[in-house]
Amino acid sequence: MKQKLRGSSRHRNRSLRINSKTREHEENQTTFDARDKWSHCPSISRTYGKGVCSSCWAVVVAEVLTDRSCIKSNGRNTFNYSARNLATCCKDCGNITVGGFPHKAFAYWKTTGIVSEECQPYNVSDMDCQYGKDISKCETECVKESKRTYEDDLRRGNEFYKFCGTTDIQREIVSNGPVAAGTWADLPKPCTKRIHSCHGPRQKLDHAVRIIGWGTEKEKDYWLVASSHRNEGNICKIERGKCGIESYVYSGKD
């Protein structure tokens, strides 16, 4: 995720339509965990490593889209979006050596489409991400082991949105699933069980995470996030209102 990510977006702040009674009840809950509400969607519980690549932006967007596809279909759709395809083919998004922009990744999904993990799996051991080395070659075919064709495998979305403020973000998560967010990169690796609060002067957003819920612990409100690190991903708690996490939140609708 690039540091200049903190630039403004032109997209409207808007939530997708949901059942108002369900929304009001769940928004007011002290604790919410998407893994519990949609336990039939195993992708929500999975976290991935990104290797040495600066591809958290692509990993997170692919995860969010996969989660939401499963949620919308009530578990029938098991299409897993390929982070590798997104990271190597969306040239306007950035790249996997210096980072990229999640909102541009959602735009790419809407206009061009992304293939599945079956078509183009993300194997961190195969990704040579030395800084400055151009290895972001976009492959327009599936791996030999796949039974799919690239064009038939592409999936496109209808809309993507930016969400602002705690209520707007919570409303979206309880209704449609996890969202992508930007935050400061000083998260512990791996995350501990404590609630992480950023300290010091305001920093630029340079790490992408997936918000899957929230809670309150010892009178401190936090977001529950899935974060991708070098060899593995893990679940972290980030204090609400800290680390710039509410300032850059996006998701989409297929």
Using CA atoms, how far apart are residues 105 and 144, in angstroms rounded to an integer? Answer: 26
Domain total for the chain?
1
Give the model's pLDDT for residue 35.
97
26 contact partners, CB below 8 Å, separation of at least 6: 32, 37, 170, 174
Task: Locate 234 and state its tokens.
Answer: 């893990």
Give the model's pLDDT for residue 144.
92
Which residues form the domain of 132?
Answer: 3-253
Give the model's pLDDT for residue 19.
45
**CA-closest candidate to residue 206, choices 99, 48, 90:** 99
Buried b (16+ CB within 10 A) or exposed e, 204-221: ebbbbbbbbbbbeeeeeb
* pLDDT digits (tens), the chain, 254 positions: 544 343 223 344 444 444 444 555 555 688 999 999 999 999 999 987 666 678 899 999 999 999 999 999 999 998 999 999 999 999 999 877 778 999 999 999 999 999 999 999 987 555 556 544 555 689 999 999 998 899 999 999 999 999 989 999 999 999 999 999 999 866 667 777 889 888 766 778 888 999 999 999 999 999 999 988 665 668 899 999 999 999 999 999 98
CATH number at residue 19: 3.90.70.10
**CA-closest candidate to residue 213, choices 35, 76, 2:** 35
Using CA atoms, how far apart are residues 112 and 183, in angstroms rounded to an integer? Answer: 27
Q: Looking at residue 219, what DSSP letter applies?
A: T
Give the model's pLDDT for residue 130.
55
> Residue 184 class from Cβ within 10 Å (0-12 exposed, 13-18 middle, 19+ buried)?
buried
Greatest C-alpha distance within the chain: 53
